[in-house]
């Protein structure tokens, strides 16, 4: 009886669903005009061309990294998937201008929590693109990455865009 109360910890599901982290048009990673993403050098994933500048967490997890320039955030999901959201292309050179982070490293987040707000007009003006890829940086450690939606419009925290299963 006590074993059931104290001894067993419920393990996290091996499969997690990533919901849309922005509202906009979804693109396959191969269609991102940057070879680091389109050739999946950093891992498998998908991209969204956002219609608004509010980005939310796609999963429950922990913030592993907030880049000093606020243009990218790393999240570790409950199943061990390491997720990178890269806001826009060639945005590191903006040195954080137009980006406001709402989370810090080590913080626990739930799907739908606001991560970053960004001035998309400023990104359009100063960077290559507003296209925002999401990649599983430890794709090789995952058993499966299922692309639930590959085209069309998505709304933040509504549609499931990826299902990631750990080994």
The catalytic site residues sit at 86
Question: How far from 130 is each of 9, 32, 50, CA to CA, in Å?
Answer: 42, 11, 7
Query: What is the rounded CA–CA span in Å between residue 76 and residue 109?
Result: 10
Helix (H) or strand (E) holding 121: helix 120-126
Helix (H) or strand (E) holding 77: strand 72-77
Query: What is the rounded CA–CA span in Å between residue 148 and residue 163?
Result: 7
Place of tokens 């058993």: 143
């Amino acid at each position: 009886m006590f074993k059931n109360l104290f001894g067993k910890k419920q393990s996290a599901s091996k499969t997690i669903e990533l919901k849309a982290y922005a509202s906009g048009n979804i693109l396959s990673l191969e269609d991102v005009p940057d070879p680091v993403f389109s050739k999946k050098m950093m891992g498998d994933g998908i991209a969204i061309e956002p219609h608004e500048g509010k980005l939310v967490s796609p999963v429950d997890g922990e913030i592993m990294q907030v880049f000093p320039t606020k243009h990218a955030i790393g999240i570790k999901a409950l199943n061990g998937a390491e997720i990178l959201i890269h806001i826009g292309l060639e945005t590191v050179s903006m040195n954080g201008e137009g980006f406001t982070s709402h989370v810090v490293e080590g913080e626990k987040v739930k799907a739908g929590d606001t991560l970053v707000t960004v001035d998309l007009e400023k990104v359009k003006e100063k960077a290559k693109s507003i296209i925002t890829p999401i990649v599983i940086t430890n794709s090789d450690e995952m058993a499966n990455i299922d692309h639930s939606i590959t085209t069309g419009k998505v709304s933040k925290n509504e549609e499931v865009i990826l299902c990631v299963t750990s080994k």
